[in-house]
């Protein structure tokens, strides 16, 4: 796909927003290749996503932002402009289970997921050789002193200029201060169909409850455990003959596909947060 800017907007709903934004783009010769709109009626808030071919504009991103700012102020917009030529930088956190990490690295290696992965951080050494085989730095962080460990993780995330922290089955609970510091920038895959079965061992909880569907949830991390805005979910049907081990095995397949889909929506700037909900322009 040709290089493009992605303009995302959230603002109080009122007449004239679409006309003003598209008029601004057209005034400068901009060619819109994809456009999405949504209004949350209860909050009376409007959401917009526009993809604009960069070669149709007479200026670069900085000048676009400078000229667009007065219009954004007029409509009280929360907005950002992303350049498709600049890959998002994902810092991946993982423990011992490798199925989500393996899937993400395969998608990255085959250029299916257009991101940069400057490092992988783990609280175990198990996956070092696998990660380093991909030419990616592997950093072990000992979790014995959790406060110091999370301070180190935050420092590494900043040092490697991470845009998004991905918890690819990282089996540790992040402290509230870290969640708030990187609000909207930490993505987790939880192995249940939230809000059911939060916390540890959700497949065991599901088995004991006798449910007929299990699932996985990709969501933003907040300081409330497994309760952040949901980006993507999926389920698989089970029956009385399935064991806990069967549920875990089915779940691995769902987890990696749900994480990959949710992460793709995020890095393509298709996710806008509205309170504890998301608007996902697929």
Q: Is 162 helix (H, G, I), strand (E, B) or coil?
A: coil
Q: Return the closest-CA partner of residue 232 out of 205, 268, 194.
A: 194
In degrees rounded to 5, what are phi and psi of residue 47? -130, 140
Which residues neighbour 40 within 8 Å (Cβ) at sequence distance 6 or greater?
Answer: 46, 47, 274, 277, 279
- Sign for the CA dihedral angle at 235, 239, 241, 243 comes to positive
73 assigned to active site: no
Catalytic residue among 226, 234, 242, 245: 226
Phi-psi region of 275 (alpha: psi -120 to 50; beta: other; left: phi over 0): left
> Strand 88-94 relative to strand 164-167: parallel, antiparallel, unpaired?
parallel
Cite the active site residues: 226
């Amino acid at each position: 796909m040709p290089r493009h800017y992605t303009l995302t907007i959230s603002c109080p709903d009122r007449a004239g927003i679409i006309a003003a934004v598209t008029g601004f783009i057209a005034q400068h010769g901009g060619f819109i290749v994809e456009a999405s709109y949504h209004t949350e009626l209860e909050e009376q808030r409007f959401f917009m996503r526009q993809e604009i071919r960069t070669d149709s504009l007479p200026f670069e991103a900085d000048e676009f932002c400078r000229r667009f700012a007065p219009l954004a102020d007029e409509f009280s917009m929360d907005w950002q402009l992303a350049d498709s030529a600049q890959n998002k930088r994902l810092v991946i956190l993982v423990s011992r289970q490798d199925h989500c990490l393996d899937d993400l690295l395969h998608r990255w290696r085959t250029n299916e997921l257009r991101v940069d992965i400057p490092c992988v951080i783990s609280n175990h050494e198990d996956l070092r050789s696998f990660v380093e085989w991909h030419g990616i730095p592997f950093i072990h962080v000992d979790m014995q002193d959790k406060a110091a460990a999370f301070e180190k993780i935050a420092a590494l995330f900043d040092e490697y200029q991470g845009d998004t922290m991905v918890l690819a089955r990282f089996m540790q609970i992040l402290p509230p201060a870290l969640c708030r510091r990187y609000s909207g920038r930490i993505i987790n895959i939880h192995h249940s169909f939230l809000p059911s079965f939060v916390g540890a061992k959700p497949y065991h909880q599901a088995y004991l409850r006798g449910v007929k569907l299990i699932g996985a949830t990709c969501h933003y991390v907040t300081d409330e455990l497994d309760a952040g805005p949901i980006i993507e979910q999926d389920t698989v049907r089970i029956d009385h003959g399935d064991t806990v081990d069967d549920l875990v095995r089915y779940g691995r397949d769902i987890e990696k596909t749900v994480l990959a889909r949710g992460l793709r929506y995020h890095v393509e700037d298709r996710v806008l947060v509205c309170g504890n909900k998301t608007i996902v322009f697929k």
